[in-house]
Amino acid sequence: MTTPVDNRSESDYSGKVRAISERLRSWSGPIVLATHIDPDGDAVGSTLALSRALQALGRATTVSLTPPRFLAFLTAPGELVPQLETLAPGTLLIALDAGAASRVAGVPLGDAALTINIDHHGTNERFGDIHLVDPSKAATAQIVKDIVEQLGLAWTPELATPCLLGILTDTGFLRFGNTRPAVLRAAAELLASGLDYAELTDRLQWRPQSYYPLLAQVMATVEFPLGGEVALARVTESMREDLSEEILDSEDFIGVIRYAEGIRVAVLLKEQGDTTKVSVRTRGGVSAQAICLMLGGGGHVPAAGATIAAAIDIARERVLTAVRKELDQTDRRGSPEPRR
Ligand code: AMP
Ligand code: MN
Ligand code: MN
């Protein structure tokens, strides 16, 4: 008998972790894990950690995921498949770090016998049969850590490294406001597995030599619109040599301009054919989430994103309109919103 999972209650976090762990332990069919498009460190880390944990329990798992080049070093040969066209009958699908069904990459969601949605985005649409969504967690990997421990597994470097990666990347290497005491405790416990921390943090920041001239070109586009309250930069297709290969961490450029003095909002526009990928970072009570929801995207209060079906110049205007609205609303509210 498995414990029924009550999706109505968001508050019973431990109960849900227990119930999901039981489901995972007792599932006899195939298990497929997937995450969001343009996977980041938390996407790759939480997915690999949970897959490796289930394998340690003797389960056969398949991970459908194409990692960006800067994270490929974490994966073992044959550990990932880029895409699954169909799922075998009786497949359990676990979606990690994906706020919406439409953002889950590389799997036909409708084929799954059961879908479990594990995430920390406040904007999560609560898709799937069972969802464990906790926006108070800094990373989906932090939720996966609780599941791995509920499964009774001991931390090995193979399990702990991807889990710590997810926590490190979603907290800006333990610098962002989501770095709460529980996050540091979780990181310390993962570090105690004996994983090679210097190697992990060093490798995470390796970039191909072609990245550095690209950085120079992107920084040459920086502008400070809306009276200097916004830093905005662009990555255009003509700057990128190989459009087929995703080499970068989405923090790479916005992580530089977000620290321009006097700004409250940083925006990176990335040209992708007729569409534009938007990344937004905010401070001082301004909500990147509110800005990106206006643009059809989502995310967290200090960091959010959207994909706009328009060319980069039109997208720039739409983004600035949304930013202006949110700045006005923030000023009318007066006091900063709690950060999530
Ligand atoms: P990024 O700027 O790509 O690093 O994204 C920042 C945050 O917003 C991450 O947590 C993403 O998962 C989320 N996010 C990015 N793009 C979208 C989107 N189109 N829809 C919903 N959430 C998004
Ligand atoms: Mn993510
Ligand atoms: Mn995440």
Query: What confidence score (pLDDT) does residue 302 get?
Result: 95
Extended beta strands in 186-299, E state: 230-235, 265-272, 275-282, 298-299
Which residues are paired to 178 by β-bridges?
A: none
What is the model's pLDDT at position 242? Answer: 67
The predicted model scores a pTM of 0.91
Query: Is any ligand 1 atom within 6 A of the Cβ of residue 288?
Result: no
Supply the mean pLDDT for the chain. Answer: 93
124 lines ligand 1 (CB under 6 A): no
Per-residue pLDDT at 244: 62
DSSP 3-state percent helix, strand, coil across the chain (nearest 5): 40, 15, 40
Nearest CA residue ID for atom 12, ligand 1? 299
Closest CA to ligand 1's atom 4 = 250
Task: Dump pLDDT digits (tens) for 281-327.
Answer: 999 999 999 999 999 999 999 999 999 999 999 999 999 999 999 99
> What is the separation of C-alpha 134 from the centre of its chain, rounded to a whole number of angstroms?
14
Cα 38 to averaged position of ligand 1 atoms, centre (Å): 9
Judged against a pLDDT cut of 90, whether residue 334 lies above it is answered with no
Residue 2 has pLDDT above 60, yes or no: no
pLDDT in tens, 178-218: 999 999 999 999 999 999 999 999 999 999 888 999 999 99
The verdict on the CB of residue 106 being under 6 Å from ligand 1 is no
Task: Find the helix packing angle between 157-170 and 181-191, rounded to 10°.
Answer: 150
Query: Collapsing DSSP states into helix, strand and coil, what is residue 49?
Result: helix
**Mean pLDDT value of segment 66-93:** 95
| pLDDT score at 247 | 75
Averaged pLDDT for residues 157-164: 98
Handedness of CA 174, 179, 181, 183 (dihedral sign): negative
301, 97 Cβ separation under 8 angstroms: no
Cα 17 → chain centroid:
20
What percent of the chain is modeled with pLDDT above 90? 89
Q: Dig out the tokens for 122 from the structure.
A: 């406040």
Spatial distance between the Cα atoms of 167 and 173, rounded to a whole number of angstroms:
8
Q: How far, in Å, CA of 74 to CA of 51, rounded?
A: 13
Nearest Cα residue to atom 16 of ligand 1: 305
